[in-house]
């Protein structure tokens, strides 16, 4: 059956209504169990599936879906889809590129400012009836050099937000050049960002090249103890080396919105031990993979995904 679409995750009505208005037969089943997805898709002969983060489309799963022509990821990253097998099978993968860039950038800036000014600890302190001002003396962002790794939609959005601060920015992107300007100095290696920046924010996809990219091997200068921020993909963090870096005071902070396996306390003894080690440090800050999930981006992602699906189908 042509133009049948199975949506297996929560999406904004802009997507379901928009697809329906363009002649797609939409089956919005956001509560469907992962184990039932393949059988349901094939019973419908669905040519498209919309997913956010409910399941991983492995090569084996993709091969079991002969009717599938495209997968739409309601987000930016596509690491929960076997891209190589999708290409081999002729399945097009569509995402909502750039739709949540501003949201992520704001979240990252908020984490950095909150950490520098010790806001989480100060809030907890006051709630206990305490009032130690000196303990919560903060630091200005303007006294730090910012490093941005990955200068795509999100990295460049963060740089734009930082225009309002008198900060120097160094940025690196392996696949992009010529983006330097008066405030952003482009460098030609990841190592140079680690060597020069006081705060490093990562904005890269998860793939073979970036897996474990946040690693203690780059901490070769004893006098530089950077703050590390990751709101991209958890798999780019090498957990063990960052735990050691914190224990050895080789970094000043670790601000994480994402984790290699989420939630970390439910993913085995190794991650639980690492997470608890981090929790005991007063130089970490966490959020539960929500950097790109604001009220505004929730709607914008669906609008962008709709546009990209319609372009793929030749409807616009």
Catalytic residues: 233, 262, 289
Contact 2, 48 (CB under 8 A): no
Which residue is it, tokens 């970094």? Answer: 251
Residue 180, both tokens: 């330097």
224 Cβ contact list (under 8 Å, min separation 6): 194, 195, 198
């Amino acid at each position: 059956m042509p133009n049948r679409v199975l949506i297996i995750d929560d999406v904004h009505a802009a997507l379901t209504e928009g697809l329906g208005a363009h002649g797609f037969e939409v089956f919005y089943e956001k509560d469907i169990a992962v184990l039932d997805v393949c059988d349901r898709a094939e019973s419908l002969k669905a040519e498209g599936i919309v997913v956010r983060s409910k399941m991983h489309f492995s090569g084996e799963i993709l091969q079991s879906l002969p009717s599938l022509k495209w997968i739409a990821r309601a987000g930016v990253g596509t690491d929960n889809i076997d891209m190589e097998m999708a290409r081999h099978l002729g399945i097009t993968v569509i995402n909502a590129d750039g739709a949540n860039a501003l949201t992520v950038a704001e979240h990252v800036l908020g984490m950095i400012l909150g950490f520098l000014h010790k806001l989480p600890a100060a809030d907890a302190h006051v709630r206990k009836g305490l009032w130690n001002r000196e303990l919560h003396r903060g630091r200005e962002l303007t006294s730090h050099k910012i490093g941005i790794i990955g200068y795509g939609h999100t990295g460049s959005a963060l740089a734009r937000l930082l225009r309002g601060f008198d900060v120097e920015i160094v940025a690196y992107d392996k696949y992009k050049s010529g983006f330097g300007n008066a405030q952003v100095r482009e460098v030609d290696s990841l190592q140079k960002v680690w060597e020069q920046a006081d705060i490093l924010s990562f904005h890269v996809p998860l793939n073979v090249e970036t897996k474990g990219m946040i690693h203690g091997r780059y901490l070769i200068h004893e006098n530089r103890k950077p703050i590390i921020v990751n709101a991209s993909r958890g798999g780019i963090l090498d957990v063990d080396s960052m735990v050691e870096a914190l224990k050895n005071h080789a970094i000043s902070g670790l601000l994480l919105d994402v984790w290699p396996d989420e939630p970390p306390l439910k993913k085995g003894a190794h991650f639980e031990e690492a997470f608890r080690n981090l929790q005991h440090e007063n130089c970490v800050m966490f959020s539960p993979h929500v950097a790109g999930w604001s009220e505004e981006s929730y709607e914008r992602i669906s609008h962008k995904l709709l546009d990209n699906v319609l372009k793929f189908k030749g409807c616009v």
